[in-house]
Amino acid sequence: MRVSPRISAALLAGAALFAVSASSAMAQQAPAQASEVEALRAQVQALMARIDKLEKAPSTPAGPPASKDAPLVSADAFKAPQVTQSGNAKVKLMLSGQIGRAVEFADDGFDSDLMHVDNAQSSSRIRASGTAKLDDSWTAGTDIEFETQSGSSRATGFGTDSGAFTINERKVEFWVQHKDFGRIWVGQGDTATNVTSEVDLSGTSTLISHTDVGSLFGGVLFRNKATRAAGPNINAAFNNFDGMHREDRIRYDTPTFGGGFMLSTSFIEGGATDFAARYTGKIGDTEVSGAIGYADNDSRTGFDTQTNGSISVKLASGFNVTLAAGTRDLGPRDSDFWYGKLGYISKLTSLGNSAFVIDYYTQEDYSSLGADAKAWSVGYVQTVDAFATDFYISYRNHQYDTPTANFKDVNGVISGARVRF
């Protein structure tokens, strides 16, 4: 077995200290032993010379170099606090993601089905983020994030609960930031107005009660009360006009100013542009967060312009209120939505936060002129900090009618968990 120079040095140092102690003790004995003392001193000097030589020697590996295909960490690396490393020593790499699975039961007024889904409101995904710092002012970074879903709750309907596995890009971008001038993003990622309809402090919005009504039971069809004929699915009947989502774009964010304000704009593939203002801060013990956005879709299909926003207020007691609204110019008509939520969040147990919520959503003229869509829900989210997991259950009612047809309500219950890593 090969012993490293540092270990050898430590052993020799111990021997030297022992020899010095012994020589000192013998020096106090009879003169007849003086020759032995001198001999020990000579050995000590030789040992110290060897230690100095070993300390200066370069370290050598215990075995052959690892293959370039060898894993960066061993199988039991989860026991260590650091499990990833960058191939570039100048860049700090963070690997993270989540698994979001759920079971849904839905009833369209005539039939019902049990569906196994990936919660599209907080889908399963994996991301790698890199950051590098030039100095105290300049920072740069990268984001690569992929959504990995099997049976998305946005698309799954009756008889389609074995949806194919898909991989979708969410973010492929880089950014450069100066603390006094702001940040520029380049690539596929959040536009300036993304999430401006979804500001929420209730602790539930990324899983259940949410302005994006179509994300949970989106593939389930409304059924005509008189003829049983299928109408639009839930995802097609609701839209929260949440900005321009994620696109290939160049985006600019100002630094935070005025105690919590930030402005953003982005120039998007195809000619679209958008602008957003955000605020996050505290007024006394009350948390306040809000956003407003405006988007011009230019020559792209779908709509012309839209304005939307949301605001959420959470009291120190844990009670919270969230409001959102938006309007979209669809060319021949305008469509509007309004949303309200009441919630309560508190740490009722040692497990983690418990969040309770009730919400209501209404929308006019979206899928067609005169269409009237409504939804309401109640829900509960329990965070278990030790597992980095959120468990949840929610009931939602969906209603939809047009000037020429009335449809049965769709009722659904969803329960599942999101495991974050």
Report the pLDDT value the prediction gives residue 42, as an integer from 0 to 100. 66
Report the pLDDT value the prediction gives residue 50, as an integer from 0 to 100. 60
Model confidence at 49, in pLDDT bands (50, 70, 90)?
low
Task: Quote the CA–CA distance of 154 and 147 in Å, as a whole number.
Answer: 13
Model confidence at 188, in pLDDT bands (50, 70, 90)?
very high
pLDDT beyond 80 at 37: no
Amino acid identity of residue 369, one-letter, is L
Model confidence at 34, in pLDDT bands (50, 70, 90)?
low
pLDDT beyond 60 at 337: yes
Report the pLDDT value the prediction gives residue 12, as an integer from 0 to 100. 43
Residues 243-300: tens digit of each pLDDT: 999 999 999 999 999 999 999 999 999 999 999 999 999 999 999 999 999 999 987 8
* pTM, entire model: 0.78
pLDDT beyond 50 at 81: no
Task: Quote the CA–CA distance of 120 and 122 in Å, as a whole number.
Answer: 5
Q: 302: Cβ–Cβ under 8 A, 6 or more apart, which residues? A: none
pLDDT beyond 70 at 122: yes
**The CATH number fitting domain 85-420, selected from 2.60.120.330, 2.40.170.20, 3.40.50.720, 2.40.160.10:** 2.40.160.10
pLDDT beyond 90 at 87: no
pLDDT beyond 80 at 48: no
Residue of 380, 384, 395 lying closest to 419 (CA atoms): 384
Report the pLDDT value the prediction gives residue 386, as an integer from 0 to 100. 95
Name residue, tokens 């606090």. Answer: 81
Query: What are the distances in angstroms from CA 41 to CA 35, 44, 53, 253?
Result: 10, 5, 19, 72
Q: Round the CA-based radius of gyration of the chain to a whole number and report it.
A: 32
Of the candidate ranges 32-46, 159-173, 371-385, the one whose mean pLDDT is the lowest = 32-46
Report the pLDDT value the prediction gives residue 41, as an integer from 0 to 100. 64
Report the pLDDT value the prediction gives residue 89, as an integer from 0 to 100. 82
Domain ranges of the chain: 5-56, 85-420
Residue 84 vs residue 76, higher pLDDT: 84
pLDDT beyond 70 at 18: no
Model confidence at 67, in pLDDT bands (50, 70, 90)?
very low
Report the pLDDT value the prediction gives residue 166, as an integer from 0 to 100. 84
pLDDT beyond 50 at 326: yes
Amino acid identity of residue 242, one-letter, is D
Report the pLDDT value the prediction gives residue 161, as an integer from 0 to 100. 60
Report the percentage of the chain scoring pLDDT > 70: 79
pLDDT beyond 70 at 180: yes
- Computed over every residue of the chain, the mean pLDDT equals 86
For 388, phi and psi rounded to 5 degrees?
50, 45
Report the percentage of the chain scoring pLDDT > 90: 74
Model confidence at 28, in pLDDT bands (50, 70, 90)?
very low
pLDDT beyond 90 at 64: no
pLDDT beyond 90 at 47: no
pLDDT beyond 80 at 43: no
Residue of 267, 357, 285 lying closest to 321 (CA atoms): 357
Q: Give the orientation angle of helix 5-27 with respect to helix 34-56, to 10 degrees.
A: 160
Apex 116 CA angle, 110 and 118, nearest 5: 120
Model confidence at 165, in pLDDT bands (50, 70, 90)?
confident
Residues 130-158: tens digit of each pLDDT: 999 999 999 999 999 999 989 999 999 99
Residue 103 vs residue 49, higher pLDDT: 103
